[in-house]
Amino acid sequence: MSKQLRELQARKAALVKDARALTDIAAAEQRDMNEEEVSAFEALKARIEAASAAIDREAALIAEEAHMAMRCERFSKDVKIGEGAFIDPYDEGGLSATLQTHQDHLRFRAMDFKELRQGLVSRMTIAQQHIMDFVQSIQTARPASSVGQKCSMDRPDHLAVDLHGNVLTCQNVSAKAIAPNGQPHHIGQVSNLQAVKMRSATHWSQRSDCPSCPMLQICKGSCMFLEGKLWDAGCDAAYSDNVPFLAAAIEFMTGCIPYYIDGDFREDRKDIFGQIHGAVANRPRRVIPILAYERATAA
Ligand code: SF4
């Protein structure tokens, strides 16, 4: 077990113990908790939830590392793996599964970059594609105006259809699905293409951050259908997913490893691996009722 996981579990156990002590005092005196005890309990509960979320994330990272090692061992070096990017958080479930804190983002970037340098992800075709895509964008001075949306569904000659003749906004959704902005993903019929109209998409060029984002040439604007907190989380994940590729491409071209990107874009994204400012503290988004769970399983 990793040292960090052990420390997180010990921290959570101490917090749970403190919270139980509070409820036990009231129970022993056969009374409800007073106001002071309730607020102390609520504060402990919030810290327990944060610790639980951190444990989940740490465990997920460890599992992913073990999974990668197992894949290398089992499939040897000849098998190409065709996928490897973060899934865009399209709903609350996806949101809870994506990176939550700035520290998570920094740790992921560092782990991914290390694996790229060690050749551990050399069979992931997406790694080679993204690194070379960025190298080519520099070689050819590719203008942002020529960068299409990552899924290519912004192209007028691309159409997603199902076997019933429904025209869909993209191949990853069904005709019954509704986009986060409330518009259906079903946008017409192949029998009447003139009436097909997309109302649920935002092209990267219309987003506030994408046009000035250094990741644009690799990321290509993430998912067109995300909005609000889903978009924010998806964009953050896309940045952290792609910045190790950019760093690897820079090292490939110059022999130097970048650690800071200057420019007119989000300040919190410039310090690539947190070597200058460290992790910016922020609260995790996920809420897990861990006390109720523990009491139930302990009973
Ligand atoms: S990381 Fe976010 S801001 Fe940058 S190009 Fe991708 S979606 Fe746009």
Percent of the chain with pLDDT over 70: 87
* Residue with tokens 């019929």, as numbered in its chain: 189
N-to-C CA span, the chain: 27
The continuous run of DSSP H or E covering 118 comes out as helix 102-118
pLDDT (tens digit per residue) in 162-198: 999 999 998 888 999 888 778 889 999 999 999 998 8
Q: Which residue has the higher pLDDT, 218 or 201?
A: 218
Which ligand 1 atom is the nearest neighbour of the CA of 214?
Answer: 4
Q: Where are the domains of the chain?
A: 1-77, 80-145+201-286, 160-195
Closest Cα to atom 3, ligand 1: which residue? 210
Closest Cα to atom 5, ligand 1: which residue? 216
Residues 183 and 186: their CA atoms lie apart, in Å, by 9
DSSP bridge partners of 166: 189
Q: Which residues line ligand 1 (CB under 6 A)?
A: 204, 207, 209-210, 213, 215-216, 219, 221-222, 235, 238-239
Q: Is 68's pLDDT higher than 60?
A: yes
C-alpha distances in Å from residue 238, one per residue of 86, 91, 233: 7, 16, 9
> How far, in Å, from the CA of 182 to the mean position of ligand 1?
23
Residue 59, Cβ neighbours under 10 Å: how many?
15
Closest Cα to atom 1, ligand 1: which residue? 239
* Residue to mutate (ligand 1; options 109, 154, 224, 239; most atoms within 8 A of CB): 239
As a whole number, the mean pLDDT across the chain is 85
pLDDT (tens digit per residue) in 1-24: 678 888 889 999 999 999 999 889
> How far, in Å, from the CA of 30 to the mean position of ligand 1?
56
3-state secondary structure 134-161: HHHHHHCCCCHHHCCCCCCCCCCCCCEE
pLDDT (tens digit per residue) in 19-63: 999 889 888 888 888 889 899 999 999 899 888 888 887 887 787
pLDDT at position 295: 44
Q: Is 294's pLDDT higher than 50?
A: no
- pTM equals 0.68
User: Burial level of 76, CB count in 10 A (0-12/13-18/19+)?
Assistant: exposed
Q: Is 152's pLDDT higher than 50?
A: yes
